[in-house]
Amino acid sequence: MKYTVRFSCGHVEAKVLFGKGADRDRTIQHWQDHGVCTDCYRQAQVSQEQKRSSEMGLPTLTGSEKQVTWATKLRLEMISERQQDILALGIRASNEKGIRARLAEIGKDALLTEVAAKFEGDKRDHAVDFYCKAIVAITKLDEAKTQPSAKWFIENRQER
């Protein structure tokens, strides 16, 4: 059944409901008392995403208003995914900090040479391989945290 519902935000929206009459009435009552329409819901999400981005100290995105709104959401998703990638490698926060500091100090090549000099044989291969992956993951996270172009996030978004 199609219903016209006035949500608690004051906006009216058409909704389709199935199931028992009593359940439908309860859902409609809940929407009228506590629910917000699709536009207001999305607007609240956008505000949350903007708030979270500024709390994280992320740069202001450049682009059209529409691009910036979309990219704000995409950026948070990308940062979260790239943080997961770092965790998946078994890198703890203190490791990450150390690697990032050394990377800034001496650069990727010198860091890998330094790591290689500390170990021998299989251990060396493993250590160098681990650091290569760690450097890529950390660099990708930093890229997402510093990139100011909304268009970049839209072009590099993960399709799912």
Among 28, 40, 112, 116, binds Zn ion (CB under 5 A): 40
Stretch that binds Zn ion, among 5-13, 81-89, 119-127, 137-145 (CB under 5 A): 5-13
The dihedrals phi and psi of 11, each to the nearest 5 degrees, come to -90, 150
Q: Tell me if 46 contacts Zn ion by CB under 5 A.
A: no
Q: Tell me if 5 contacts Zn ion by CB under 5 A.
A: no
Name which of 7 and 70 has its Cβ closer to Zn ion: 7
Smallest separation, CB 39 to Zn ion (Å): 5
Q: Tell me if 118 contacts Zn ion by CB under 5 A.
A: no
Give the tokens for residue 123: 């251990």
Smallest separation, CB 6 to Zn ion (Å): 10
Element (H, E) at 5: strand 2-6
Query: How many binding residues for Zn ion (CB under 5 A)?
Result: 4
The dihedrals phi and psi of 153, each to the nearest 5 degrees, come to -70, -35
Smallest separation, CB 38 to Zn ion (Å): 8
Smallest separation, CB 32 to Zn ion (Å): 12
Smallest separation, CB 45 to Zn ion (Å): 13
Q: Where are the alpha helices (DSSP H) in 20-120?
A: 21-34, 38-55, 65-88, 93-106, 108-118
Stretch that binds Zn ion, among 7-15, 20-28, 55-63, 98-106 (CB under 5 A): 7-15
Long-range contacts of 2-10, Cβ-Cβ distance < 8 Å, separation of 24 or more:
3/28, 5/31, 5/32, 5/35, 6/32, 7/31, 7/32, 7/35, 7/36, 7/37, 7/40, 8/32, 8/33, 8/34, 8/35, 8/36, 9/36, 9/37, 9/40
Q: Tell me if 31 contacts Zn ion by CB under 5 A.
A: no
Give the C-alpha separation, 29 to 7, whole Å: 9
Stretch that binds Zn ion, among 35-43, 45-53, 87-95, 131-139 (CB under 5 A): 35-43
Chain positions contacting Zn ion, by CB under 5 A: 9, 11, 37, 40
